[in-house]
Structures are given as structure tokens and as C-alpha cells.
Structure 1
Amino acid sequence: MPTSPPSKLWKTILHHDLPASLVVFLIAIPLSLGIAAASGAPLIAGLVAAVIGGVVAGALGGSPLQVSGPAAGLTVVVAGLVTQFGWAATAAITCAAGVLQILLGITRIGRLALSLSPAVVHGMLAGIGMTIAVQQLHVVLGGKAQSSLIDNVIALPAQLVTHHGHSVVVGILTVAVVLAWPRIPKLKVVPAPLVAVVAVTALAAVWMPDVTRVDLPDHPLQSLILPTMPEGTPIEIVTAVLTVALVASVESLLSAVAVDKLHRGNRTNLDRELIGQGAANALSGVLGGMPVTGVIVRSSTNVAAGARTRASAIMHGLWIAAFVLAAGAMLELIPMAALAGVLLVTGLRLVQLAHIRTLRRHDELLVYVVTALGVAGLGLAEGVLLGLVLAVVRVLYRLARATVTATESDGVWIVRIRGTLVFLGVASLVRTLRSIPAGATVRVELTVDHLDHAAYEAIEDWRRGHVARGGIVELNPDRSGRQMLDGVREFEASADEIRPLLARLAAEGQRPEHLFITCADSRIVPTMITTSGPGDQFCVRNIGNLVPPKGSNSSSVDAAIEYAVDVLGVKSIVVCGHSSCGAAAAALAADVPEGSGLESWLRHLEPSVRRAVALPDIIDPATGVKLSPADKLSVANVADSSRTCGVSRASARPRLRAGSN
């Protein structure tokens, strides 16, 4: 991608990034102090993390508009580490977690963090949010928070009837301003937390001199608590490092993906983002700072304020450093109850009703609730593990869930198979098929999302046996006419849940990262192989997954590749072949009618036919069986089509891949 001229870049920074950095700086100060206080860390540690997150993660990360710093999502984790190991050891754990994040980014497995079920991730954040909210409610009421959610809930009634003094006034006013300010249209451009903290601080300075306030060291640089080796068993230390690294990574990557949806600029390089976050955590730990993650609150504020480049995130960190060193005394005017009020609202907002409604529509609410309650009641690692186990169990259940029915009508048995039919459901399938009398006429209707090899073999073995005993089996009968219309009506009746998603995707436009070229008669479509959603990939299906040389009467394929690369900006082209390909068999048999369109098209396979004949025998590693001539041709064709695509296509040449299904 061409870089902007230096003069244009500086103009962008001055006109857009500089004002945005000031807005983010103003909101980052109270949030960083509040998160540090809620975590049991020194307040200066939160500011150190904000500076390092802005400068280091902003400069090295893969998300140009994401802003990093201490995050509410790690509050519970850090509080537990401080209680268990002390602050100096927690800083060392943060440093080690950062090194681990760098290694994960270098090994290019950053995307794996996004493989977590959204229900587990949102449940984790909701559990953290509930814990923060109840914890900070004690501080708002002028008390002291306990170490766990259960302890805080038990102590809450006594806290409510205690004399609260001015702290409760400060906290309630802060919460009220944070909630009410965004509802004022002309003023909501100014961040609500900033308005709340400034207004309540000014009020407390005049009428509430007895409230507890922020206490920063007189010499911040000399007061940094440097890391020391944690004291504990190796398992405890390794678990702590893994927990910080994984939670920080998942939160940062999810935040980066969310930020990408807020702007039309460059997309995030997730592996680079992981390296940048790791470098920030390593340095923050060395300097005695808190763990750093990408923060959606600051990042969305950054985008909304008009930021265009990563300079905004970097400058916001520099403003924090300059302010702490030059005007730290001003921060000591802020009441602790005001910071607690900001964190109370932040915690409650981690429990988002929109997520709950979406997960309920997709039947994932149970995983969300179990994860949230587990994180809140048992701890972050235990809660996430519970959610993951439940999510895996539900996936296995869905994989095994297929409806198999056999009914008799006018002497014909109709077997209907619906759902996802894999090896886990073969026993039930075979039991139903064997209940059909020998010699009967059977019509098998397959309406499945996926049919694996074990299920296919079970149906085929039964079919052969039933025919051998004098029966008749009609597999996948013609569904034209009224039956096809019935299928359309069935889809229309069940599509209400996905219509809002499809409408939103249509409005936002497609942003696929991959172009798949696959065969028209393949039984499996690429979205099934990659578990992709609508708009995640751009797909072209033709006879034989062919990519003819450019200009050889193949304008349709040319147009698809050029559009995918030049307009949609795909990062890779994947050519997918498959076994038992009809096009390959027809090309080898050479029995296609002369002068037909199919004969003209299959001529593009001739170079691959010559290559396939010259290839030695190929053994399928999955079955140990030698490939048939048609399957050898499919392998050669995938290689030739990939090579043709790379040699003659695309001004912005993407990475090429070969696949099979």
C-alpha cells in the first residue's frame, strides 16, 4: 500500500490525531487511576501502564487506532495476584506474560485467540464486570472492598446501613453524571468520565474536605516498585503468567476486531498486535506498571474523536507522562469515591444486554451464564474453564444431533435424515435403518448440514444389504416442484433469527480476507470447511475448480479474481479440489460431446492431465489407499490452477494456497 507524502502525513496528524489524542488523554487519566485502585496496585502503576500502553503498543501494535493501557477486564486477575504474590512479584509476572505474548505473536498464532466461543468471552467480561461493580460499590459507600465477590455481597447489607459521610455523595454524583452526560446531544462529545471526575473533584474541594483522595508519591520516578521474583510453587507462577498473557491477549485481540468495525482504514494485523501488546507488557512490568491490554472504551473514543493514524495513541501516552511529571499534584485532588463511581459504571457496562439477546437467539445463553457466574464466584481461570467445557460439550451434542425418522405410507418407507450427521450419530441411524422390513421399497431423504465419511459408509452399507435382500432404495429423490417449494417455505419460516444479521452485513458491505475457487460438484462448500459466516469469504465455483490462463476465453474467472484482489483486497486465494470429481473423470474418459461448451471448458485441464499421467502413485495419508487416476488429476489441477493464478493475475498479488475437500 503506498505511503502518504510526509507533508500530508503531518497535516493528518495535526488536524486529526492531535485533537483526538488530547480527548483520549483526558479520559485515560481517571480510568487508569480507578483501575489501579480497584486492583490493589499502586496508583502510579496504573499511570505507568497507560503511558507504556499508549507509546509502545501504539507504535509497535498491528491495530493503528487501538489505544492500550490498564483495563477493567484484568482487574480481578491483578487483584488476585497482588493478594497472592505482592505487587513487586506481580510486576515480574506482567513482564513474563509480555514475553510470552511476543512469542505467541512471532509464532503467528494470534488468530487462535479468536477461536474462543463468543459466549465464553462475553461471559468472562460479564463476570469481571459484576465483580468490579459490587467491589466498587463498597468504595462508593465509603467502605473498603473485600477480596472476592461472595465476600463483598455478604458484607454489602452492613455497608448499606453504615454512616457513609461525604464519600457516598461523591460516588452517587459521579455515577449520575456518567450516566446522564451522554444523553445531552450537544455536549456528549466530551467524555462523560472526564466531566464527572472534574465536576465532582471541584465540588469536593469546596464542600467536602474530609473525603479520601488520590495519593501519589512526590517523586513518581523514584517511587516505582521494580519487579522481584515471585515466591511460590512453579505451577502457581506459571499459571499466573499464563492467565495474564491469555486474558490480556484475548481482550486486546477482541478489542482490535471491534475497533476495525468502527472505521474504514487499515485492518488489524493480529499477530503484530500481539507482539506490540507483549512488548508493552514486558516494559510495563520492568518499570513496575500494571498489565496492558487494548481497551475498547479508549479506542472507540479515539475513533470517534477523528483519529486517523497510530500517532494519536502514541501522543496520548506522552501527554499522560508529561502531566504526571509536571502537574501530578492536581491528580491528588480527585476523591477516591469519584474513581470508584466511574469504575462502578464501567463494570456494569461489561454486562451488555445486546450480547445477552444475541446469545439467547443463538442458543448460547447457558454458556454465557455459567461462565459469568463461574468467573464471579470461583475465579477467572475456573470460570473460563467451566464455560469452555460446557461449550465443547454443547458442540459435541450438536455434532451428534441428527433427526432420523422412518415412516411407512402406501407400502413405501420414507426415511428422513435431518441435522448434522457424523460418526457420533451413526448408532442411532443404523438402529432406525435396520427397523425397516427386508424387501421394502425405501426412499431416503437427506437434509443435512454435514455428512461425514462414517455416516456415509453406514448408509451405503445398509443400502447394499437392503438391495441384496430384494429391497429397493431411492437415495436423495428429486426435490423439484412442490417439494422444493416446501423447502423454500421451511427456510423462510426459520430465517427470522438471521435476517437482522444479513441486513447488517448488507449495509456494511463484505470484507472477505480470502478468495476460494472450488468445484461446482463438490459436496462440501468452503464455509463448512472454515466455519465461516456470511461475507467472511469470497467464493467462485466452476466445473473442476479451474483457473485457465488469463485471456483464454475465461473472462468470468478473470473478473472474479480481479474483483476479489483489486476491489475487495483479499489476502489469499485458496484453490480447492475434491475427490471423485466429475470434471476430472470426464476429462480422463474423453467422452464429452464434441463442440459442446463442456468440451471447450475441459480443454483447460489438458496440461494437468499430462502432469497427472506422469506423476507416481499417490497414497492418501488418511486412508493409506492409492489415489485413483481422477483423484491424481484433481491434485495436479489444484497445483496448476494455483500456479496459473500466481503467475498471471493481480496487481496486488495475494498469498496462494492449495486445498482439498
Structure 2
Amino acid sequence: MTNSAQTPALSPWGNLLGALRTDFPASIIVFLVALPLCMGIATASGAPPVSGLITGIIGGLLVGAISGSPLQVSGPAAGLFVVTSEIIAELGFAALGIVVVCAGAIQIVAGVAKLGSYFRAVSPAVIQGMLSGIGVLIFASQFHVMVDDHDAARPWLNIGWEKGIANILTIPESLWKGLVPLDNSPHHLAAAVGVSSILVLMFWKYVPIKSLRIIPGAVVAVILAAAITKTMGWNIEHVDVPASLLDGILFPTREVLGDLEWRAVALAAVTVALIASAETMLCCAAVDQMQSHTRTDYNRELLAQGVGNFACGVVGSLPMTGVIVRSSANVDAGGRTRLSAWLHGLWLLIFVALLPWVLDMIPMSSLAAVLVYTGWKLINPKAVLKLWRVSRPEGIIAIITLLLVVGVDLLTGVLVGIACTAAWLLWTFAKLDVDVEEIPSESRTVLRLEGAATFLGVPKIADALDKITPDTELHVPLDRLRYIDHSCLELLVNWEKMHSAQGGVLVIDWESLAATFRDSNNKTHEQ
């Protein structure tokens, strides 16, 4: 029977108007969030600010149109800051485009092969350690920029210190320059702008007028900084954006291709693809948890990210990922379809194409302050402490990953973190306690197994069986086992044949093992 009370289907124009009512205002908010972050991440990576803006535009207009996660917003991300800065430092900015093209191609192949969900299979301890390490590096590097002290770490680098460690060790030097002006330098003016920007970021959410809170704190901080420096006439560093967006495009040339170290390019491309994909997939999962309007197609999203990064590489801009800050702003602002992400890219394009002189008014110290604040939030000491309290081994893995990301490089930190996680899981899964209790009065022996009886536990079980009295009745309860594999069962079966020949008996309590699994399943269903 047809239900006459059904709501009539909306026309395509009706759907578009409905989407515009929610997604148009959301796109404005996302645009305002993305604008300072695109430029800030670019400058932090050692790239021109316009390259970050181009990546944001491609992330909105191209990836936003074909994304598998409609409410996710893509663009340059803090998670790739370390890798990108290392590529630029070692291979040059001109080579970055080739690396990003190759990384995009890897993502496209992985998306076609439907490997999207596998990039989520990374331990939370490794993710937290990686993000905290990236946060430390961003905080340390941008602290110097916040006081216009770009060369603070250079003497330390000349004696072999890693850049991240050198930036950390020279923070007191830049702090002193920001507090005490020497030789009529403008460091204290830049520091004043940076500190003011951080204060705005910290306290903007407490502004009593709720309607004003819709404007992102980063935008307010940057606008106030630009107004202060313009009014006071302070001679501090400002953002440098070309008059034409086309001047920021850097196509690969035959000379660049001929001079490349292709082995280093391949390693960098794999690193970018893996980290960008993992960060994007985790962001997708977070966006799915924030709302119930859409669900992610992980393979389509991975393919879309690959297409986006391929395009970014062709024009020589920064690599992209799905970005949680912009995506959460999209959801919180009421975004309901992919239109909000697409429109945010359009606003970026229009703003950069028509109003580049406005961007030139932004002080570098204010952008750096936004990233200092972002870096501190990425470090997230509370999350590391919570991880430590819940699981001490995972807390140790997070700290190891953090230290290696800061002291060596991002890829080493992540790979060692994954290896430590695998070793911990193997140790946990292979742990088996074997206890033998003899009851001479009953001519009976009890062999208790607790933990996981895998092939790694075969030698321990075999040693215990070798000590069993030949003619005893051996009972093996299995209620304390989480798992028993074929190799252990085969050992017990073969041993039973030999034991029976000597007049003994083997009794295995299979029902206790079945009861254990039944209880476990019941508890799972009850939860």
C-alpha cells in the first residue's frame, strides 16, 4: 500500500537551495579557518605562502568535489610539516612537486586497489607520539619566527645538531631577544605581536557576545596584528604573496628532472603517501563520529586524495591531507554536504586572485603565533598522560615515537613506533604461564595453562610434559586460556599417545575452554 503522507521528493534546485542554506555559511567559516593555516604551514615548511594557498584551493575545488568523505576538508596539514620541510631542505623546493606527484600516484593506486581502510590500522600510541613530536617541532621552529629570529639555530646546525634539537635548544636565546631589544632590533615588536595573537587565540572563546565567537580566533588574531603593525608603523616581517596567483605555480622542468636523486625522491614519496593517507583516514573516522549525516567511503577518499596530491605536485605546491581542524569547523558550523568544502576552495581562489595585497599586510610573527599555539595543542600532554595511565607499554611507545620524531626524523619515529607496538603485541600474545600440580594421593597431576598457547609456547609446554610421571592421570583445564593454536594441540595429541603406552591417561577439559569463549561473547553482546 502506498503511503499518501510521504514527503514529496525535492527537485534538484530544491536540493541545491537546501544545501546552500546550511553549507554557504559553513563554507565561510571554513575559509576563514583555512586562510591563515594554509599560509602558516607553508612558511613553516620553508615554502612560499602562496604554495599553501594553492594546495587549499585544490583541496576545496578538486578533492571537495570527488571526496569519499563529503564533510572532510582537505589542504596543507601540520602532520606533513616535518616531511615537507626535510624534502625542501635536502632536495630543494623545485623537487617537492615531483615528490608530491609520485605520492599522489601511490595513493591513486592504493585507492583503486581498495586499501583505504588499511591505513587506519596504526596504534593510537604511535599516532599520539607522532602528533606530539610534530607539535614539538612546530612549536620550536615557529617560536623563533614569532620574534623574527630566523637564524637562531644555524650555529648549532653547523656542529651537527639535528634541526629539531637545535630549535629547541635555542628557544631561550630567542625568548631573550624578544624581551630585551638589542641594537635597535625589532625582535621585541614581533614578539609583542606574536604574544598578543596567542592571547587572542586562548581567550577568544570566552568573548561574552556569542555571535562574535563564530569568527575563528585565528582570523581575529591575524586581523588585529595587521591593524596594529599598520597603525604603529612597525618594521617587522610580513607575508609575501605574489600579485598574480599564476606566479606561485611551479611546473616541473627538464633541468629539475635531470638533476633529481631518484632514490631519495622515491623514499620521500612513499613517506608522504603513507603519512598523508594515515592522517586522512583517521580524520575521516573522526568526522564520522562527529555527525550522522554522511559516512565515509575510505577507498574513494584515498583515490580523491591521490588525485589532489597529483595535481598539487604538477603545479609545485604543498602536499595535502584531510585536516581535522578545518573538518571539525565545517561540522560545527552546520555543513551537511560536500558543497561547503567546495565553496571554501572557491572563496580561497577569489580572495587570493583579487585581494593579494590584503595578505601582504599580515605579520609573519602573527602567523607563527598561530602555529605555536597549534603545535602546543598537538603536543597534548594530557592525552599522553592518559595513555600512560591506561596502558604503561603504550605510553612508553608514544614517548619513544615522540623522541625519535624530534631527534631523528618522522619516518624513523613512526616505523620504530610500529615495530615497538608489534613487539609488545607479540610478547603479550605469546605470554603463557605453565603450572604443574601433583596430587600423589589420587595418582593425578594437573597441568594449568594461562594466557595464549601458541607455537611460541610449545617449548615451555613440552618441558612441563617431560616431567610428568609416566603412569599418572594428567588433567589439563583450559578455562584460563585466551587462545590455543594447532601446534599446541598437536603436541598434546602426540604426547597422549606416548603417555597411554606407558599406562597413563590424559584428560583435557574442552568444555571449560568453550565456556570461557561463551562467557566472553555474552559479555560482548551485553555491552
> What is the TM-score normalised by the length of structure 2?
0.87
1: distance between equivalents of 2:321 and 2:524? 29
- Unaligned ranges ≥5, structure 1: 488-519, 528-532, 539-661
- Deviation string for 1:398-429 (max 9, x for gaps)? 22211111123564432221112110111112
2: distance between equivalents of 1:12 and 1:288? 37
Matched, 1:220 2:245: yes
Which residue does the alignment assign to 2:184? none
Matched, 1:180 2:203: yes
- Deviation string for 1:418-460 (max 9, x for gaps)? 1121101111121122222222233212122221111111222
Deviates more, 1:146-155 or 1:71-80: 146-155
Runs of 4+ in 1 over 6 A off after TM superposition: none
One-letter amino acid of the counterpart of residue 508, structure 2:
L
Which residue does the alignment assign to 1:579? none
1: distance between equivalents of 2:165 and 2:292? 44
Residue 479 of structure 1: how far off its partner (Å): 5.6
CA, structure 1 residues 478+57, in 2 after alignment: closer, same or farther (shift >3 Å)?
Answer: closer
Matched, 1:408 2:438: yes
Which residue does the alignment assign to 2:472? 440
CA contact (8 A) 1:90 1:227 kept: no
Superposed counterparts of 1:389-428, under 5 Å:
389-409=419-439, 411=442, 412-428=444-460
2: distance between equivalents of 1:262 and 1:4? 26
2: distance between equivalents of 1:183 and 1:472? 75
2: distance between equivalents of 1:299 and 1:139? 27
Which residue does the alignment assign to 1:632? none
Superposed counterparts of 1:438-477, under 5 Å:
438-446=470-478, 447-476=480-509
Which residue does the alignment assign to 1:211? 236
Matched, 1:364 2:389: no
Superposed counterparts of 1:258-657, under 5 Å:
258-352=286-380, 353-354=382-383, 356-358=385-387, 360-362=389-391, 363-409=393-439, 411=442, 412-446=444-478, 447-476=480-509
CA, structure 1 residues 198+326, in 2 after alignment: closer, same or farther (shift >3 Å)?
Answer: same
One-letter amino acid of the counterpart of residue 499, structure 2:
H
CA contact (8 A) 1:443 1:477 kept: no
Residue 473 of structure 1: how far off its partner (Å): 2.9
CA contact (8 A) 1:285 1:291 kept: yes
Deviates more, 1:404-413 or 1:272-281: 404-413
CA, structure 1 residues 291+4, in 2 after alignment: closer, same or farther (shift >3 Å)?
Answer: farther
- Deviation string for 1:100-135 (max 9, x for gaps)? 211111111122212222222222222111111111
| Among 83, 105, 108, the residue aligned to 1:102 | 108
1: distance between equivalents of 2:192 and 2:471? 84
**Higher helix share goes to which structure?**
2
CA, structure 1 residues 182+472, in 2 after alignment: closer, same or farther (shift >3 Å)?
Answer: farther
CA, structure 1 residues 285+3, in 2 after alignment: closer, same or farther (shift >3 Å)?
Answer: farther
- Deviation string for 1:360-387 (max 9, x for gaps)? 4244122211111111110111111211
2: distance between equivalents of 1:331 and 1:195? 14
| Among 7, 17, 20, the residue aligned to 1:14 | 20
Which residue does the alignment assign to 1:608? none
Deviates more, 1:332-341 or 1:312-321: 332-341
How many residue pairs match? The answer is 491
Of structures 1 and 2, the one with the larger relative CO (CA 8 A, separation 6+) is: 2
CA, structure 1 residues 419+94, in 2 after alignment: closer, same or farther (shift >3 Å)?
Answer: same
CA contact (8 A) 2:287 2:327 kept: yes
CA contact (8 A) 2:95 2:260 kept: no
SS of the aligned residue for 1:350 comes to helix
CA contact (8 A) 1:113 1:253 kept: yes
> What is the TM-score normalised by the length of structure 1?
0.70
One-letter amino acid of the counterpart of residue 477, structure 2:
E
- Deviation string for 1:334-377 (max 9, x for gaps)? 11111111111111222232355146424412221111111111
CA contact (8 A) 1:421 1:450 kept: yes
CA, structure 1 residues 534+129, in 2 after alignment: closer, same or farther (shift >3 Å)?
Answer: farther
CA, structure 1 residues 300+4, in 2 after alignment: closer, same or farther (shift >3 Å)?
Answer: farther
SS of the aligned residue for 1:364 comes to helix
2: distance between equivalents of 1:3 and 1:174? 49
Residue 311 of structure 1: how far off its partner (Å): 0.5
Matched, 1:251 2:279: yes
CA, structure 1 residues 427+87, in 2 after alignment: closer, same or farther (shift >3 Å)?
Answer: same
Which residue does the alignment assign to 1:241? 269
Matched, 1:197 2:196: no
| Among 164, 171, 179, the residue aligned to 1:156 | 171
1: distance between equivalents of 2:510 and 2:15? 64
Deviates more, 1:27-36 or 1:11-20: 11-20
